[in-house]
């Protein structure tokens, strides 16, 4: 199946689209913890540049659904509202300078690229894609692990590159890439058509997260036996040594250790996806301000 066909008629999460009749409307859901993110499934037709178009003002509109019950006025709820408002304000600062460019999230397996990517796509009124899911659909196999088993890692990487090539010709997308997408220079050529953000998560935190959910969906980990945490940490350490310099090619680095330190925490597990998305926008803002003279005529706001 041609990649273009998959991208033009694929079931994906279009976060932030208002289905109430206002075709340009956008909304922001308050993000919960990592495992509580909800997905809105829709079928995408037509030119991606028309999907997730900004409001007439150029910025997303924040809509917060409130409940009249008194117990909804908890401190956690208000903290979430405050975080969402801060995130919205920062998206308004960054949006005009994106000029329609796609945002590619890179990082190790389990670093939260999909969760953070959906939040970013929502506040920016972009569309969201997961490159692994696109490869699965193109190949007609239900999981990356199964593709590795039935074919090979090289087969998967070839199709991953085809997907990234097709995505690079589009606009206004947030793309969560696979952990190993950075190892091929050709993929950087495609991703550098947009902006790249590295989610840098401590290996201990990644190993704990992966061990907690299991390794069945992680083809580079699943074949090994032993204690889930120990084998995850050992493999992640090896992968980090192999890919560290490649991740560092990203335009912006979001270091979870740094975010936790700024908040006075010693453990990155207390960070919310909103915290990380906000840091990503701030890092992008810094990069764009430092490179404001760099323009590309192919990025045109629709």
The residue assigned the tokens 């310099």 is 245
Query: Is 210 buried (19+), middle (13-18) or exposed (0-12) by CB count in 10 A?
Result: buried
Q: CA nearest 13: which of 179, 218, 173, 190?
A: 173
pLDDT digits (tens, 9 = 90+) for 139-149: 999 999 999 99
The DSSP code sequence of 145-161 is: HHHHHHS-HHHHHHHHH
pLDDT band at 276 (very low <50, low <70, confident <90, very high): very high
**Can you give the pLDDT at residue 78?**
61
Percent of the chain topping pLDDT 90: 60
Residue 134 maps to a domain = yes
Residue 72 maps to a domain = no
Question: Sign of the CA dihedral 180, 183, 184, 190?
Answer: positive
Residue 279 maps to a domain = yes
* Chain centre to alpha carbon of residue 179: 12
pLDDT band at 70 (very low <50, low <70, confident <90, very high): very low
Residue 264 maps to a domain = yes
The mean pLDDT of the chain is: 78
Query: Is 234 buried (19+), middle (13-18) or exposed (0-12) by CB count in 10 A?
Result: middle
| 173: helix, strand or coil | strand
**Can you give the pLDDT at residue 211?**
86
**Can you give the pLDDT at residue 220?**
57
**Can you give the pLDDT at residue 268?**
96
Polymer length of the chain: 302
More confident residue, 3 or 252: 252
More confident residue, 45 or 11: 11
Question: Strands 173-176 and 103-106, how do they pair?
Answer: parallel
> Lowest-pLDDT range, 74-88, 199-213, 227-241, 268-282?
74-88
16 within 8 A of 60, measured Cβ to Cβ: yes
Residue 206 maps to a domain = yes
254 within 8 A of 276, measured Cβ to Cβ: yes
More confident residue, 143 or 61: 143
More confident residue, 282 or 214: 282
CA dist., res. 197 & res. 130, Å (int): 15
**Can you give the pLDDT at residue 25?**
41
**Can you give the pLDDT at residue 215?**
56
CA dist., res. 217 & res. 28, Å (int): 30
**Domain total of the chain:** 1
Flag whether pLDDT at 249 surpasses 60. Answer: yes
Residue 196 maps to a domain = yes
**Can you give the pLDDT at residue 226?**
72
Provide the whole-model pTM.
Answer: 0.74
CA dist., res. 159 & res. 2, Å (int): 10
Flag whether pLDDT at 132 surpasses 50. Answer: yes
> Rounded to 5 degrees, what angle do the CA atoms 90, 177, 110 make?
85
Looking up residue 290, the CATH number of its domain turns out to be 3.40.50.300
Residue 189 maps to a domain = yes
CA dist., res. 55 & res. 158, Å (int): 37
Give the domain extent around 158: 86-297
Residue 162 maps to a domain = yes
Question: Sign of the CA dihedral 271, 17, 11, 298?
Answer: negative
């Amino acid at each position: 199946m041609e990649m273009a066909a998959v991208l033009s008629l694929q079931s994906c999460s279009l976060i932030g689209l208002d289905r109430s009749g206002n075709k340009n409307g956008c909304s922001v859901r308050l993000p919960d913890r990592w495992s509580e993110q909800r997905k809105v499934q829709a079928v995408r037709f037509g030119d991606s540049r028309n999907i997730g178009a900004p409001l007439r003002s150029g910025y997303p509109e924040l809509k917060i659904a409130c409940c009249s019950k008194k117990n909804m006025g908890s401190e956690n709820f208000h903290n979430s509202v405050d975080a969402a408002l801060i995130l919205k304000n920062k998206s308004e600062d960054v949006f005009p300078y994106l000029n329609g460019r796609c945002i590619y999230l890179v990082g190790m397996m389990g670093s939260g690229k999909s969760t953070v990517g959906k939040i970013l796509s929502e506040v920016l009124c972009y569309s969201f894609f997961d490159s692994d899911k696109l490869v699965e659909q193109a190949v007609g196999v239900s999981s990356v692990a199964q593709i590795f088993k039935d074919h090979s890692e090289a087969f998967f990487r070839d199709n991953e590159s085809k997907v990234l090539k097709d995505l690079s010709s589009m606009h206004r997308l947030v793309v969560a890439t696979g952990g190993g997408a950075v190892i091929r220079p050709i993929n950087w050529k495609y991703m550098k058509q947009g902006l790249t953000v590295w989610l840098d998560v401590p290996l201990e935190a990644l190993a704990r997260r992966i061990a907690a959910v299991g390794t069945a969906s992680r083809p580079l980990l699943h074949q090994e036996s032993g204690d889930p945490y120990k084998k995850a940490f050992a493999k992640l350490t090896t992968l980090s040594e192999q890919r560290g310099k490649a991740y560092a090619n990203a335009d912006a680095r979001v270091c979870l250790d740094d975010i936790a330190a700024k908040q006075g925490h010693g453990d990155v597990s207390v960070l919310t996806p909103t915290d990380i998305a906000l840091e990503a926008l701030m890092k992008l803002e810094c990069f764009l301000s430092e490179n404001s003279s760099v323009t590309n005529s192919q990025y045109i706001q629709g």
